Amino acid sequence: MLYVFLSICCSVIVSVLLKLAKRYQIDVFQAITWNYSMAILLTWFFFKPTIPSLQNAPIHIYLGLGVLLPLLFMVMATSVRVAGIVRTDVAQRLSLFIPLLASFLIFGDSLNKLKVIGLIIGFAAILCSIPWQKKTANRKVYSNAWIFLLIVFFGIGIIDILFKQVALFKEVPYTTSLFLIYILAFVIALIVLIFRVATKKTKFSWPHIMFGWILGVANFGNILFYLKAHTSLSKSPSTVFSAMNIGVIALGTLVGLVVFNERLSILNKVGVALAVIAIVVITIS
């Protein structure tokens, strides 16, 4: 569970950086693009991945993640604009249903009473952590908003499943797989960024690039430890899926409270407490 904890910490750092990016008017898409370049360099520096024969490699999974990682970010940005941050947040959190179902139907995970209790408490924590009482005044919710929310819901769930498959594939080291996925994601994001620059929707700027590199360090740690967690707990993917999601909620809420002075309702506080209990129960199971 150490890898799960480290992945949770890195994930929350990514969220904090993205929140700071908005505050300091950083072009988030440009930062996301350059974050992949830093992730590529870190993977190369620390793990010296060798590019093996790709004949037996799961190319379709690499392509899926390489495309989904940057494109889902763009969809999420659009979802926030047309549906609001609250609804998008709900779609993200409820996406846990998809990898959990996959862990039992595809990956052969087993259930016991303690794990079922932990998952039930975890879903209660997710529901309690959602900011139901936030107003979306002065924000128009577009009629096609549900399409973007649906894509966010399925997209995040599918990405979780694909990363699990990468962790299970033994013929190629997962660090090499990670290196190839980062390259694909960077190339696709860079193509979109060059198009945006050519159409004068944005321009290259050092603050955006440097912020992206800082973001890349945290994102590298997040995905690396997430894959390590799936590798070390290969027979219990539901533990990783649920503990990761619930842990991000608990730690993210606490960071928002302490660092950004965000107000929590009584229901949100109950959600944090339930999240901690759920992680303990799932870990014991």
Contacts of 24 (CB under 8 A, 6+ apart): none
Gap between the Cα atoms of 177 and 179, Å rounded? 5
- The mean pLDDT value for 42-70 works out to 84
- What is the count of structural domains for the chain? 1
Per DSSP, 143 falls in state T
Q: What is the DSSP letter of 171?
A: S
Q: What is the pLDDT of residue 236?
A: 74
pLDDT of residue 86 exceeding 70, the answer is no
Residue span of the structural domain in which 147 resides: 2-284
Question: In this structure, what token pair is assigned to residue 181?
Answer: 């996925």
How much is the average pLDDT of 200-210? 87
Band of residue 44 on the pLDDT scale cut at 50, 70, 90: very high
CA distance 21 to 34: 14
92 CB-side CA count, 13 A: 22
**pLDDT tens per residue across span 98-137:** 887 788 777 777 777 887 887 788 778 777 766 555 554 4
User: Among candidates 108, 220, 110, which has minimal Cα distance to 168?
Assistant: 108
- pLDDT at residue 194, rounded to an integer: 93
Residue 17 has pLDDT above 90, yes or no: no
- pLDDT band of 183, cuts 50, 70, 90: very high
Percent of the chain topping pLDDT 90: 17
Radius of gyration of the chain (CA): 19
> Which is higher by pLDDT, 22 or 180?
180
192 pLDDT higher than 50: yes
CB 250 within 8 A of CB 275: yes
Query: Would you say 252 and 72 are in contact if contact means Cβ atoms under 8 Å apart?
Result: no
pLDDT value at position 210?
93
Region of poorest pLDDT, from 41-45, 72-76, 78-82, 148-152: 78-82
Per-residue pLDDT band at 211 (split at 50, 70, 90): very high
Read off the DSSP letter of residue 201: S
Look at the block and give the residue holding tokens 């904090």. Answer: 16
